[in-house]
């Protein structure tokens, strides 16, 4: 370990190849965790397609924006709080001593409030999400049950991110894989074993974050932990600090929900429930590709924050380049698989052999997933900018890809080209954002020197 001086700042230099080995350690475990959770999403979608048919898939897709809202809140405070924690735990530990406890207590109260509001206003909420006479009855039951999971989903994202940033990525991987295995079994038991169908799928949603939180509670036995629990009132300043760094990650997740909502409305207008069911298949597969890309990015984030926080900029750049290679390679592989095997993949989710669902999904899937590489690059860029404290630039990218470019694209291309235009909105948006993301990263790296 040596030192150099850059712009008057004394910089520690990392002289060991172990940084790549450590990156692989974090990234592979986060990919495994993300992939495990994605498998549950796919299997849950499959179970619902068998038990409730295309209408069940439509209801699931109408409810996805609610999951995005729960997850986005957890990411807002989890990714942001954990990044702030990593940037300060070595140099200014007094700043972050109570942060974790304050955020958990805050989302517990917020989650309970969200649950109450969803149950009070379930019918107008579902109408807003696009439910019609065919989907409303099933949707009411599903949404009211999953609302009970809101505080647990929010808390789980915070705990996962803090435990990972506290040097224990193994436990986060174990928690997610245990959660996945357990919830798949519970999902099957409730849907088929007890014959509860959509109600069973909703009840399994409750089990998911609770299982993960139970496993993560064993972090208290981790020898190297710096996290401690304090019974304390949340401070709005602490919440705001975490939110400032986490807004880009939250915006990414919320953008998924917003785009699904807009997709649903446009597709309902153009072609009806079967087009939405086809998009339900595509959007749930997209959750897998996005989760893997997030796994790479979130695996690299603690190390980038640590190295940059300690002024080891060369190591930070090495981790970024390595993570880019991994995420682009995986995105290319997934795109190839999805395009080559689109027929069998779509058939898995079409237990009732609906020709209209196959028609829409067969055209849409290969067009939609030309976005996979650009999406992976953008997610890595956003998490990187968050990790180094450039939350403003990270938010700009998130806002562009989730709202400012994407929504007009969906509506405009849908009006001009019909359903084909709707499918093309995502890859065009992600490509445009990628161009800007690479420019922003290049500018930051220039500031560090080469």
- Total domains in the chain come to 1
pLDDT tens, 349-358?
877 778 888 8
pLDDT at 380: 94
CA angle 71, 221, 310 (to 5 degrees): 70
- Spatial neighbors of 407 by CB under 8 A, at least 6 apart, are 258, 259, 262
Write out the residue range of the structural domain in which residue 166 sits. Answer: 2-448
Helix (H, G, I), strand (E, B) or coil at 229: coil
Residue 449 pLDDT: 62
Say if CB 89 and CB 256 are below 8 A apart.
no
pLDDT at 168: 87
Res 251: pLDDT: 79
Q: What is the chain's pLDDT, residue by residue, as a tens digit (450 residues)?
A: 444 433 333 334 444 568 888 888 888 888 887 777 778 778 888 888 888 888 888 888 888 889 888 988 998 898 888 888 877 776 677 777 888 899 999 999 999 999 999 999 999 999 998 888 888 999 999 999 999 999 999 999 999 989 988 888 889 889 988 888 888 899 999 999 898 888 998 998 888 899 999 999 999 888 888 888 889 898 888 888 888 888 877 877 787 788 888 988 899 888 887 888 888 888 878 888 888 998 899 888 888 888 887 778 888 888 899 999 999 999 999 999 999 998 888 888 877 778 888 888 899 999 999 999 999 999 999 989 988 878 788 889 988 988 899 999 999 999 999 999 999 999 999 999 999 999 999 988 888 765
Coil, helix or strand at residue 2 = strand
> In angstroms, rounded to a whole number, what is the distance separating the alpha carbons of residues 148 and 166?
29
Contact (Cβ atoms closer than 8 angstroms) between residue 251 and residue 398 = yes
DSSP, residue by residue, 366-430: HHHGGGHHHHHHHHHHHHHHHHTT-HHHHHHHHHIIIIITHHHHHHHHHHHHTHHHHHHHHHHHH
Q: pLDDT value at position 290?
A: 87
Q: What is the pTM of this model?
A: 0.72
Q: Which DSSP string do the residues of 4-29 spell out, in sequence order?
A: EEETTEEEEE---THHHHHHHHHHHH
pLDDT of residue 381: 94
């Amino acid at each position: 370990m040596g030192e150099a001086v850059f712009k008057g700042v004394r910089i520690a230099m990392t002289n060991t190849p172990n940084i790549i080995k450590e990156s692989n350690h974090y990234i592979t475990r986060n990919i495994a965790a993300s992939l495990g959770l994605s498998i549950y999403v796919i299997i849950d979608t499959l179970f619902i397609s068998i038990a409730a048919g295309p209408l069940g898939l439509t209801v699931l897709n109408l409810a996805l924006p609610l999951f995005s809202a729960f997850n986005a809140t957890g990411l807002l405070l989890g990714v942001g709080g954990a990044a702030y924690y990593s940037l300060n735990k070595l140099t200014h530990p007094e700043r972050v001593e109570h942060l974790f406890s304050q955020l958990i207590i805050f989302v517990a109260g917020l989650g309970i409030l969200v649950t109450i509001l969803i149950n009070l206003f379930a019918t107008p909420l579902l109408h807003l999400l696009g439910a019609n006479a065919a989907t409303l009855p099933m949707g009411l039951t599903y949404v009211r049950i999953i609302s009970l999971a809101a505080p647990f989903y929010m808390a789980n994202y915070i705990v996962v991110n803090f435990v990972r940033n506290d040097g224990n990525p193994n436990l986060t991987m174990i928690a997610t894989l245990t959660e996945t295995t357990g919830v798949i079994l519970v999902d099957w038991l409730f849907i088929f074993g007890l014959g509860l169908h959509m109600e069973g799928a909703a009840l399994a949603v409750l089990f998911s974050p609770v299982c993960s939180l139970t496993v993560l509670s064993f972090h208290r036995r981790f020898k190297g932990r710096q996290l401690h629990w304090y019974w304390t009132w949340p401070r709005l300043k602490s919440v705001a600090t975490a939110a400032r760094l986490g807004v880009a990650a939250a915006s990414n997740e919320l953008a998924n929900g917003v785009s699904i909502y807009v997709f649903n409305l446009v597709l309902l207008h153009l072609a009806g429930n079967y087009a939405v069911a086809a998009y339900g298949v595509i959007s749930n597969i997209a959750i897998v590709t996005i989760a893997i890309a997030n796994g790479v990015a979130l695996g690299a984030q603690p190390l980038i924050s640590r190295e940059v926080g300690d002024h080891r900029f060369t190591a930070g750049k090495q981790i970024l380049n390595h993570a880019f290679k991994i995420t682009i390679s995986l995105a290319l592989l997934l795109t190839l698989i999805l395009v080559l095997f689109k027929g069998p993949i779509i058939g898995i989710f079409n237990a009732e052999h609906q020709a209209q669902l196959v028609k829409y999904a067969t055209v849409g899937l290969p067009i939609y997933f030309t976005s996979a590489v650009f999406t992976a690059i953008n997610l890595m860029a956003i998490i990187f900018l968050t990790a180094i404290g450039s939350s403003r630039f990270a938010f700009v990218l998130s806002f562009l890809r989730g709202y400012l470019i994407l929504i007009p694209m969906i509506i405009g291309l849908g009006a001009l080209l019909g359903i084909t235009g709707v499918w093309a909105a995502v890859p065009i948006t992600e490509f445009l954002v990628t161009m800007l993301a690479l420019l922003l990263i290049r500018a930051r790296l220039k500031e560090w020197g080469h």
